[in-house]
Structure 1
Amino acid sequence: MDDIPTTSLGGEGDEGPDDEGEVDVDEVGKEIDIAKDGGIVKKILVEGAGWEKPEKGDKVEVHYVGTLASDGSVFDSSRERGEPFSFALGTGSVIKGWDVGVATMKKGEKAVLTCQPGYAYGAAGSPPKIPADATLNFEVELLGWRSVKDISGDGGVVKTIIKEGDGYQKPADRDEVLVRYAVLVKGSDAVVAASPESGVDFTLRDGHLLKAFGVALKTMRKGEEVALDISPAYGPIVAGEGGVPADTPLQAELVLLSWKKVEDLSQDGGVIKKTLHVPEGWEMPNAGARVRVRYTLRTADGVLVEERSEGNELEFVVDEEEVVEGLDLGVSRMKLNEKAELTVAPAYAFRDQEKKLKLGMVPPGATLIYTIELVHLQKAKESWELTDEEKVAAASAAKDAGNAAFKAGRWARAAKKYKAATDAVSYDDKFTEDLKRQAREVKKSANLNLAAVHLKTGAWREARDVCNKVLEKTSGHPKALYRRAQAHMAAGDYVEAEVDIKAALQLEPGNRDVRALHARFRKESAAASAKEAQFFSKAFQRLARKPDPNPTPVPAANGAPPAAEGVATASGVSGEHAAVDTAAAGGDVEMGEAAGEAGGRAAGLIQHV
């Protein structure tokens, strides 16, 4: 009865559990109701290996022995035949009890599946060996499976895993992959295109030969081997390339040999890192770490301009601007003993300056390429390793570095250093009173300067929020009020700005900066109020158009009579009722409310400025 397990009667067993994989079925010897209705009971005899389980569509391979629960008689056995049985999981090609039960098993696991009739052969049975309404026991051993996935989502690229890859990482668009492949016309044994045995490399987003390769490689791990079924839509990138026919179903064998990770460290293409060698460890530099590197430095056209080899390494402190920004950033993202290639755009190197190095001249606007190895790393102390005195000293040093960057107009670096200053002393509960006082002064100064940076860069909300932090600790701080007022004005919040300006003037009536801001406030708020008032005046004029003397009655909802003559509608209201009447006419309530509120706000500004 070789075909018994492959017969699916459906029937009572069609309504199985929605998500079989969530049932806890991994305890040896324990009977588990995996269908959650008593229809399938599983008892593990031998625990499987690992954590992975087959998924829908996978081609699983099993050995089994089937017996009648009523008398224990064997009705079928793959072991007696000496040949494993394989089927596509979850596709209805076997009884429901198998589709559900095998999906809960790990590789090498052996279990007994007790299947009630609704999950087996139902009322019909499978004569002559399986009677009607029979409960069956299957001793099943999951030998393994091949993962079969529609990875394109439209059936255009179906992947079957021949050999699992290593690890968990998969290549991304920017990465450079090394692959080996062979391509055949579907149904033929003749290879129409193949790579060298050593493989070919290319950038994944640029693609190579077949569109299907780009789809498949993003799902593969290092060392993974797959077979692909490819529809014509995922065939050659360029018609006829490599001798591969277009508009023809294809098959391919593809191996991901390795790849080089490529990262955009600066997020704008200015510093690109390609990993050439991945070390075993994970140690990386932190801000303030002392490092030594070996490298060769070339311009983009291949001219060697500098070389640092063994015994002549370059040593510097990370994040202290001792080297060009691109090199600093690149090394900060390397592991100890890692080798990488850094491509550094002019904005992160010498910009438009000409630079003479030991082996050559770097022309203005040159892109640099470092082939670099991080050979020594001495990490700076982390914050939790510092004494309280060291934390305050580190905060003060970071604030000073921020001031230097601010004076040079380097807003991003200044903001980074001011943030580092406040972070260094953010937890000061256990400080002595003297250290607490010093920490408060550093945080206050750093936050006020950070607010100034945000004002320079147009980050009005961030500037306001930082000033709020200062005012939470020192409610009447003139400079914090002054800078928050600047942020409010820039954002058009003139009412809030006036409150802060008046408060600052009460504290320091002679402060020239605040007085100048007050004068600018009066001018800008008056102009804004006049503009706003003009806008809403025109809006109200449109709303106040005379009503049609002979309007056509419009029936109300639910058969109610039309509105009586003389009842106000949105087309005949004055400005003070605009919000309500706009809504009554079926318009936008929020717009109406905004009109009323903004009109009042404009009038208010005109009065108090």
Structure 2
Amino acid sequence: MALSLPKPFLESTETEFSGLMETQIGTQGLKKQILKRGTSWKTPCVGDEVQVHYSVCVQDGVYFDSTRDRGTSFGFKLGQCEVIKGLDEAIATMKKGERAIFTVPPSLAYGEFGSPPLIPPNSTLVFDVEMLSWNTIRDLTGDGGILKKIVREGEGWATPNDADEVLIKYNARLENGTVFSESHKGVTFCLNDGHLCPALSAAVKTMRKGEKAELLVKSLLQIGNGDTRIDDDIPSYSKLTIHVELVSWRSVIDVTRDKKVLKKILNVGEGFDRPNEGSLAKVIYFGKLQDGSVFERKGSNEEPFEYICFEEQINEGLDRAIMTMRKGEKATVTISSDYEAAGMVSADSVLLYEVELIDFTKEKPFWKMDTQEKIEACERKKHEGNALFKAGKASKYVEFDHSFSDDEKCHANALRLSCNLNNAACKLKLGEYREASTLCTKVLEVDPMNVKALFRRSQAYLRTSELEKAEADIKQALTIDPNNREVKLEYKELKDKQREYMRYEAGIFSNMLSRMG
């Protein structure tokens, strides 16, 4: 649609602005002269709602239309053919607060026919345009199904991820103005789970903290299967308008990338460094069951709990979560039954931890140590090895005692399994593979579905070239826990070793044939 033009307005001419630096936009002769620079680096995009002041004249003529004279700005959607093509292309280059002169050739204006009586055929137009503001509009689905208009810019650059927990305020209305759903006090939900309709989650994922937006949802067919009811007399093709504000969100990290260990950040930590395997971590945490009962509590502000990361001193899932934290960070960690300690809770339960990483110390890599540091590190490792060896002997204290009650037997059984698994890990490091496989077999006799025992026994079999036994254990472990990364890596190593052995056998067979020939 062409720009509508009211009665002629005789005022200043384009010659006032002669001598200004002129640049060319595109390849069709559109030219620009900046009178006043903008206040930002941003420019509007196709679909945005822009508000401008303008004056226009035929080149070498007088201005015949001006919004400044009328006292009202002019608004339109950029790139939607609501104005002449030259003005669309020109305003797309402008920043907020910028004022510029644009020379628009006939091919980008009214062409060979003009727009009589004000614009003769083949006229070049001159626009004096000031960019006042614009509302960003995005087509989130690419088909007009969900249009988003930014009403107020948010803070920073970050936007929520799929698993994050968001707090929003919103108001949703049907075409006839009926309030469909609203929450002025705010509602909290996980973006993966959604709320009200898929369009809401899709839009919130593009928003920044504090941002306000207006959504136009094409039809109620996109509402989804929520609890909200739609009156029978409202057509399913009705449009929905949602005003939404992203108040805040809490980042949720999928620690194991299989949704079995989820960390929700309550307070962001400092710096960028995180603990790694072998780090000495100082933490405060407590664990509770789904019914709210606390089953474990470690550390305090006066005396944080210290442990070595990835040395099987705490719940494996919690350990992995802490290794994603920064100093001073507070978080809640939700752990599925796959990562629960043996005998602690039932197999179908979930553990909930609240944890704060007070501080941590990373062990210096050996290649950065001086001679004295290497000797001290060797002494520490020797003492750690002695402690592990003694832990392996600890199982004898709970082997056979007929005076144990049922609860004590259950606890003793869990301790015995843990001791045997720790001892097996020690034997693997010492290269005593037969002893390691024997200890794992003891665990599996009591708990045939124990993934750690299957994994460590397969490691022992692999080192002694008992490839068939190793494959059987790995396959069983993968059947129980198909997403276990360590078991998958072990399976890959097994396959590599099997291929190497087949090449070795093929070579021997080839040599035998050559000698026989």
Smaller-chain TM-score range? 0.5 to 0.7
**Compared with structure 1, are the counterparts of its residues 257 and 382 closer, same or farther at alpha carbon in structure 2 (3 Å cutoff)?**
farther
Q: Which one of the candidate residues 201, 209, 218 is aligned to 2:188? A: 201
Secondary structure at 1:199 match in 2: strand
Written as runs of structure 1 = structure 2, the 5 A alignment for 1:449-598 is 490-491=498-499, 494-495=502-503, 498-499=506-507
Q: Which one of the candidate residues 198, 208, 213 is aligned to 1:226? A: 213
2 CA distance for matches of 1:328 and 1:149? 42
Check conservation: 1:2, 1:76, Cα contact below 8 A: no
- Larger Rg belongs to: 1
Q: Which one of the candidate residues 272, 297, 300 is aligned to 2:287? A: 297
CA positional deviation for 1:335: 2.0
Check conservation: 1:235, 1:250, Cα contact below 8 A: no
1 CA distance for matches of 2:21 and 2:423? 72
Secondary structure at 2:185 match in 1: coil
**Compared with structure 1, are the counterparts of its residues 302 and 229 closer, same or farther at alpha carbon in structure 2 (3 Å cutoff)?**
same
Which one-letter code corresponds to 2:173 in the other structure?
Answer: L
Q: Which one of the candidate residues 174, 179, 183 is aligned to 1:191? A: 179
Q: Could you say which residue in structure 2 is the equivalent of 1:75?
A: 64
Identity of aligned residues (%): 35
2 CA distance for matches of 1:86 and 1:457? 72
Which one-letter code corresponds to 2:206 in the other structure?
Answer: T
2 CA distance for matches of 1:413 and 1:237? 54
Which one-letter code corresponds to 1:257 in the other structure?
Answer: V
Which one-letter code corresponds to 2:192 in the other structure?
Answer: R
2 CA distance for matches of 1:62 and 1:165? 23
Secondary structure at 2:112 match in 1: coil
41-50 vs 199-208, which moves further: 41-50
1 CA distance for matches of 2:254 and 2:323? 13
**Compared with structure 1, are the counterparts of its residues 138 and 330 closer, same or farther at alpha carbon in structure 2 (3 Å cutoff)?**
same
Which one-letter code corresponds to 2:360 in the other structure?
Answer: L
Q: Could you say which residue in structure 1 is the equivalent of 2:149?
A: 160
Q: Could you say which residue in structure 2 is the equivalent of 1:100?
A: 89
Gaps of 5+ in 1: 6-28, 355-361, 415-448, 459-484, 503-521, 523-602
Which one-letter code corresponds to 2:106 in the other structure?
Answer: P
CA positional deviation for 1:121: 2.0
Q: Could you say which residue in structure 2 is the equivalent of 1:211?
A: 198
Q: Could you say which residue in structure 1 is the equivalent of 2:25?
A: 34
2 CA distance for matches of 1:61 and 1:175? 35
Q: Which one of the candidate residues 122, 125, 130 is aligned to 1:141? A: 130
- TM-score, length basis structure 1: 0.58
Q: Could you say which residue in structure 1 is the equivalent of 2:223?
A: 235
Matched, 1:353 2:343: yes
2 CA distance for matches of 1:387 and 1:338? 32
**Compared with structure 1, are the counterparts of its residues 111 and 412 closer, same or farther at alpha carbon in structure 2 (3 Å cutoff)?**
farther
CA positional deviation for 1:498: 4.8
Check conservation: 2:269, 2:325, Cα contact below 8 A: no
Q: Could you say which residue in structure 2 is the equivalent of 1:259?
A: 249
CA positional deviation for 1:285: 2.8
Q: Could you say which residue in structure 2 is the equivalent of 1:469?
A: none
2 CA distance for matches of 1:139 and 1:605? 92
**Compared with structure 1, are the counterparts of its residues 486 and 164 closer, same or farther at alpha carbon in structure 2 (3 Å cutoff)?**
closer
**Which whole-Å deviations, capped at 9, do the CAs of 1:356-383 have from their partners, x for residues lacking one?**
xxxxxx6677532111122223444478
Q: Could you say which residue in structure 2 is the equivalent of 1:331?
A: 322
Q: Could you say which residue in structure 2 is the equivalent of 1:250?
A: 240
Q: Could you say which residue in structure 1 is the equivalent of 2:164?
A: 175
**Compared with structure 1, are the counterparts of its residues 2 and 371 closer, same or farther at alpha carbon in structure 2 (3 Å cutoff)?**
same
**Compared with structure 1, are the counterparts of its residues 141 and 263 closer, same or farther at alpha carbon in structure 2 (3 Å cutoff)?**
same
2 CA distance for matches of 1:412 and 1:93? 74
Check conservation: 2:270, 2:327, Cα contact below 8 A: no
1 CA distance for matches of 2:295 and 2:168? 34
Which one-letter code corresponds to 1:234 in the other structure?
Answer: Q
2 CA distance for matches of 1:163 and 1:412? 60
Q: Could you say which residue in structure 2 is the equivalent of 1:408?
A: 424
Q: Which one of the candidate residues 124, 135, 139 is aligned to 1:150? A: 139
1 CA distance for matches of 2:368 and 2:101? 56
Which of the pair has the greater relative contact order for Cα pairs under 8 Å at 6+ separation?
2
Q: Which one of the candidate residues 108, 120, 132 is aligned to 2:121? A: 132
Which one-letter code corresponds to 2:315 in the other structure?
Answer: V
Q: Which one of the candidate residues 48, 51, 69 is aligned to 2:41? A: 51
**Which whole-Å deviations, capped at 9, do the CAs of 1:246-305 have from their partners, x for residues lacking one?**
723222211221222222211233321111222464343344433322222212332112
Q: CA RMSD in A?
A: 4.2
Gaps of 5+ in 2: 7-19, 390-420, 431-459, 472-492
Q: Number of residue pairs matched?
A: 412
**Compared with structure 1, are the counterparts of its residues 390 and 338 closer, same or farther at alpha carbon in structure 2 (3 Å cutoff)?**
same
Matched, 1:372 2:360: no
2 CA distance for matches of 1:162 and 1:453? 67
**Compared with structure 1, are the counterparts of its residues 102 and 134 closer, same or farther at alpha carbon in structure 2 (3 Å cutoff)?**
same
**Compared with structure 1, are the counterparts of its residues 382 and 61 closer, same or farther at alpha carbon in structure 2 (3 Å cutoff)?**
farther
CA positional deviation for 1:170: 2.3
Q: Could you say which residue in structure 1 is the equivalent of 2:304?
A: 313
- TM-score, length basis structure 2: 0.68
**Compared with structure 1, are the counterparts of its residues 486 and 339 closer, same or farther at alpha carbon in structure 2 (3 Å cutoff)?**
closer
Which one-letter code corresponds to 2:79 in the other structure?
Answer: G
1 CA distance for matches of 2:47 and 2:317? 48
**Which whole-Å deviations, capped at 9, do the CAs of 1:415-454 have from their partners, x for residues lacking one?**
xxxxxxxxxxxxxxxxxxxxxxxxxxxxxxxxxx9x9599
**Compared with structure 1, are the counterparts of its residues 165 and 382 closer, same or farther at alpha carbon in structure 2 (3 Å cutoff)?**
farther
Q: Could you say which residue in structure 2 is the equivalent of 1:113?
A: 102
Written as runs of structure 1 = structure 2, the 5 A alignment for 1:13-24 is none
CA positional deviation for 1:606: 6.5
Secondary structure at 2:95 match in 1: coil
1 CA distance for matches of 2:365 and 2:133? 48
Check conservation: 2:270, 2:329, Cα contact below 8 A: no
**Compared with structure 1, are the counterparts of its residues 372 and 495 closer, same or farther at alpha carbon in structure 2 (3 Å cutoff)?**
closer
CA positional deviation for 1:203: 1.7
Q: Could you say which residue in structure 2 is the equivalent of 1:66?
A: 56
2 CA distance for matches of 1:243 and 1:411? 69
2 CA distance for matches of 1:296 and 1:223? 33
Which one-letter code corresponds to 1:206 in the other structure?
Answer: D
CA positional deviation for 1:175: 1.8
2 CA distance for matches of 1:406 and 1:128? 93
Q: Could you say which residue in structure 2 is the equivalent of 1:557?
A: none
Check conservation: 2:271, 2:326, Cα contact below 8 A: yes
